[in-house]
Every structure is written in C-alpha cells, then in structure tokens.
A = this chain, B = another copy of it.
Amino acid sequence: MPSTRTANRPSKLLDGAVGVTTPRSVNEIFEVLRDAVVSQRLSPGVQLKEQPLASAFGVNRAAIRQVLAKLANCKLAVHRLNRGVFVASPSREEAVSIFHARRVVETAIIELAVERMDAHGLRELRTIIAQEQAGYLSGKLREASKLSVQFHRTLAQKAGNSVLEQFLEEIVARTPLVVLSFNVTDNLGCEGGEHAKIVDAIEARDAALAVRLLHEHLGHLENKLAFDEHLQPDELERAIFHSLGSAND
C-alpha cells in the first residue's frame, strides 16, 4: 500500500494537458483542471483530493484550495462539508437547463458574430474546422473533440462580448459532465461539416440561416443523449475507479 506522502507521479489526468513543467499559479492549475473536465479526463463524482493534487502540481494545499473554490463557483464541482470536493454530477434538470441556456447564449453570439465577423476571424475559424476534420479522419477523437470546443470558443470570442463569451465557456465546460452522465454512445461531435456551414452563413451575413444551423447543430448533440436512462447510480463506482492519487502501477 503506497503512502500518498511521497510525490506521486503527475497522474495520467494531466498527460494531454501540460508538458512537464509544473504550473505555479492558481489560475493555471484551475484552467488545467477545467480543461481536464472539457476533455472528459475527469468524470462526474470523482473526488478531488487536496494532497494528491498539491503533490501533482508541485504546490501547497492552500493553492489547491483556491482552485477548488473556483471550480465549485463554476458549478464544475460540489463541496461537501468535511468530506471534500467532487466533480459535479449534473442532474437531469441541470442538464436541460444547460442545453437551453446554451441555445440562448450561443444564439446571441451567432447574431453578434454575423455583424462583426471579419476576414481574419473567418480564416481562423476555418483553420480550426480543418484541423478538427483532420482529427476525426485520423481517429484522434480526443483532439478533434477539443477542437470542436475550440471552434465554439473562438466564435464566441469573435462576437466581441466578453460576458457572453464567459457564459459560453462555463456552459461548454459543464457540457462534458452532462454527456458523461447521460450519454451512451461515446462518439460525440462527429458531425459532418456543420461547423463549416455555420461559418458560411456567417460570411454571407445571413443571421437567420446561421441561427437555424446552430439550432440544428445543438439539436443533434442533445438527441445523442439518453435523458431517460439515468446512469447516475454508477457515480461511486466511477469515483473509486478514477480516484486520483491511487495510481499504484
């Protein structure tokens, strides 16, 4: 039984996140963990223990504590008194709220993007789409999924409203938790050219079409989820299997 005192290795959770250098700042650790959620490397219900995280990132527990406070503030984690913080397990109601809110926020973003998009932004978006498609074709689903998220993020950025951009970021970060809680088919985001069509509509300044395409796009994602079959009870099992810091191999 290995003691958790000795600096346990960076714990595969961070494999695809950051190279080797240990980040120091609270914000960097926060973004790494949020990225771990977005990339589905952190599953709902997993406990985020302080000492293992501190060892993994090479910082003190106090710093981790601030990170966990921020994660809980974003609703990406829940804090149980004297028990620790756990990755959030969205309920069915939260899930539908998240998807509805996403329609609201991203619709507004699209409408702004149609007004303000410039040639540089269009190029940037199409570059991301190309990389995303290449990722799907080469079988790199993780990377492609991340690029899909990056597409929506960049779109929000080009809309030029920092508040809506932040809201979309929060929604996008919580969506993977919903997918992991309710999805059965593990392939998500593998739509054929829907992003490209949206960009075309934006370039044509056709707001109505762009919004319609977006709604169809989001609808496809929602339809992949099985809201009836709730695999919530598995929460604890997943938690112990993905338990951070118990890597004994």
A residues whose Cβ falls under 8 Å from a Cβ of B: 26, 62, 65-67, 69-70, 73-75, 93-94, 97-98, 100-101, 104-105, 108, 161-164, 166-167, 171
Contact = CB atoms under 8 A, between A and B. Distances in A.
B93 A162 contact: yes
Q: DSSP class of A's interface residues: helix, strand, loop or mixed?
A: helix
B163 A97 contact: yes
Contacts of A93: 162
Contact of A101 (B69, B98, B100, B161): B161
A101 B164 contact: yes
Contacts of A66: 65-66, 69
Given A65-B62, A105-B104, A108-B104, A161 B73 contact: no
A70 B66 CA distance: 8
A235 B47 CA distance: 42
Q: How many copies does the complex hold?
A: 2
A100 B167 CA distance: 13
A201 to B, nearest CB: 20
Contacts of A94: 162-163
B162 A97 contact: yes
A106 to B, nearest CB: 10
A105 B98 CA distance: 13
16 contacts: A62-B65, A65-B66, A66-B69, A67-B69, A69-B69, A70-B70, A70-B73, A73-B74, A97-B164, A100-B108, A100-B164, A101-B164, A104-B104, A104-B105, A104-B108, A163-B171
A167 B70 contact: no
Contacts of A101: 108, 161, 163-164, 167
